[in-house]
Structure 1
Amino acid sequence: MTLLTEDRVRERARMSTKAAGLSSRELLARQARTSQRQYDIFLSQAIKDEELVLGVYTILSEDIGLTVFCDWVESSVSDHGNTTPADAEYIKGKMLASRGLMFIDSEHADASSWMSWEIGWFHGAKSRVCVLPIVHSENDQYRGREFLGLYPMVEEDDRFVLRVPARLGDVVARYAAPKPLALATWMPFQVWATMETLPDYFLS
Structure 2
Amino acid sequence: MSRILVVEDEQRIAAFVAKGLRAAGMVPTTVRTGREAVEHVLAGEVDLVVLDLGLPDQDGFGVLDRLRGSGSTVPVIILTARSSVEDTVAGLEGGADDYMSKPFRFEELLARIRLRLSASAAPATTSVLAHGRVTLDLRTRRAGVDGRDVDLSAREFALAETFLRHPGQVLSREQLLSRVWGYDFDPGSNVVDVYVRYLRTKLGASVIATVRGMGYRLDG
Q: Which has the larger radius of gyration?
A: 2
Higher relative CO (Cα under 8 Å, sequence separation at least 6) belongs to 1
Write 1 or 2 for the structure with the bigger share of helix: 1
Higher strand share: 2
**TM-score w.r.t. length of structure 1:** 0.42
